Chain A
């Protein structure tokens, strides 16, 4: 397979640009999770990981993909993202295994499965080249290379949390668990925020670590991600 040009990528993503963005997002997330070895991922784990990628993207000086999320009891859920995950399964780029019903008290049963990249797909490699998962020369947008680096580091950091706990990690996240925001309300940490450290408490935590180091000691963005993952792990074990 050769490289994918922008027109081909558009056709793969459909006519809607938002659809394309969401599909690229799914592939980026799952590809980084593959590198960290934490696939296949149940839907809830994938959504938790997508949320953490958004809320922690300012640590890497990146804009979040979604700057807000609806706060619900069983953790973050992105309907648009799930819709494209399902479509990518049909397109053969993502595999699903272990399909099952999950009962929920109020919202009715949910079909869940475990998602992963389909390495057998002949379309996968040109897409990975195009979205910056290989190198900057062949990426259609060089910013995707930085996003890829961030997502891999984040996935590796999250991998320090026991696999079965990852889906609960978002629920103890400082921003999502902020008691000032009740369930069924929108958690806005990037869309309309005027003071990101006030609204993105997860970012504030990663900044706050400096307070307990000698003055001028430096923490890299990668170290802040790992420390934050450790913070989530600690909270889950205490919950």
Chain B
């Protein structure tokens, strides 16, 4: 069947479509891991309550959200009640245990059957220990997600915000700082493939560390800015492929806002466990960053967006400052305006991170 261009659709007013698109940044991220998708949607519910000053909530401090493949089946076994549209309904969430769909929008609910600190055991006893789980604590404003279920470790720690995210460059910096501290700084919290398996202590990078960092950043930015900003991953343009592109609403229309180009500094090339990794030279690192400057400058100009070069430093020795190397400064001098360049140190061990002053 042929598909010809998309002109005005008979019977459909374009104003309807423009109005619908205002909610684009609240559309669930369907391409990410289901645990991350669920955690982002739960976060939206909890922050909605926080922004309404927890109106209508009782004395309880905690709400528990479980993503389960078949909410009705689970709910039916424990006498749960149906629940829907948790944001729109504004119903109380504290003191409840929810069994929900991937978007945390529909499912079943019961009052917490045991004290909050016994919920994990309660779920495991009922063979529900392997499904994504999120705890929200009002008093400490903490959101703790266990992406691999009650039996797994905490995979996300968020602060429950009682204000919506600001659409500012400063806020992007805050979001990246959060991701850096929570998901990148040491191998224990890093996503797979940032470091070579079994060799982070030797500072051997994974096969595609940029891709792994890009996925983590993209997921986190979507969650952080849900409802306000849209993040695109690897959109192609004639000049190449952008790592992350952010769009925001300006005067009711979506416009490109910022381009994030991600680069990695290395001590060595990738190697498999047991193999010797060959050194990655300073000249190679400098060339990579100079290319990053050229890329982000070109991409940002093409999209009329803010250029942000984010450098993830996987070197054992974080010196020299790559942004002071001559080839890089020459490229930066050619840019008008100069891109914002930030360097984020990643450490091959927790002790190295502590020695560098991170707590």
B84 CB contact (under 8 Å) in A34, A163, A213: A163
A226 an interface residue at 8 Å Cβ cutoff? yes
Q: Once the chains bind, are B235 and A205 in contact (CB under 8 Å)?
A: no
A196 to B27, CA, bound (A): 26
Q: Once the chains bind, are B235 and A220 in contact (CB under 8 Å)?
A: no
Chain B residues with CB under 8 Å of A227's CB are 20-21, 23-24, 27
A230 to B16, CA, bound (A): 10
Chain B residues with CB under 8 Å of A37's CB are 71-72, 82, 84, 100-101, 105-108
Chain A residues with CB under 8 Å of B1's CB are 190, 193-196
A177 to B11, CA, bound (A): 8
Q: Could you mark each residue 157-190 of chain A with 1 if its beta carbon is under 8 Å from any beta carbon of chain B, else 0?
A: 0011011000000000010011110000000001
B137 an interface residue at 8 Å Cβ cutoff? no
Contacting A at CB under 8 A, from B12-30, are 12, 14, 16-21, 23-24, 27-28, 30
Task: Give the distance to chain A from B4, nearest Cβ to Cβ, in Å.
Answer: 6
A119 CB contact (under 8 Å) in B4, B5, B70, B103: B70
Q: Once the chains bind, are B14 and A119 in contact (CB under 8 Å)?
A: no
Task: Give the distance to chain B from A205, nearest Cβ to Cβ, in Å.
Answer: 5
Task: Give the distance to chain B from A86, nearest Cβ to Cβ, in Å.
Answer: 21
A73 an interface residue at 8 Å Cβ cutoff? no
* Chain A residues within 8 Å of chain B by Cβ, number: 52
Chain B residues with CB under 8 Å of A39's CB are 72
* Chain B residues within 8 Å of chain A by Cβ, number: 51
B198 an interface residue at 8 Å Cβ cutoff? no
A79 an interface residue at 8 Å Cβ cutoff? no
Q: List 27 A-B contacts (CB under 8 A).
A: A34-B71, A34-B72, A35-B69, A35-B70, A37-B71, A37-B101, A37-B108, A152-B102, A156-B102, A156-B105, A179-B11, A195-B2, A201-B9, A205-B9, A208-B17, A209-B17, A209-B20, A211-B14, A212-B17, A212-B254, A213-B247, A214-B247, A218-B232, A223-B27, A223-B30, A226-B27, A235-B16
Residues of A within 8 A of B (CB): 34-40, 116-117, 119, 152-153, 156, 159-160, 162-163, 174, 177-180, 190, 193-198, 201, 204-205, 207-214, 216-218, 220, 222-223, 226-227, 230-231, 234-235
19 further contact pairs, Cβ within 8 A, besides A156-B105, A217-B232:
A37-B71, A37-B72, A37-B106, A40-B72, A117-B70, A159-B101, A160-B103, A178-B11, A195-B3, A196-B1, A197-B5, A212-B21, A214-B303, A216-B235, A223-B27, A223-B30, A226-B30, A227-B24, A234-B20
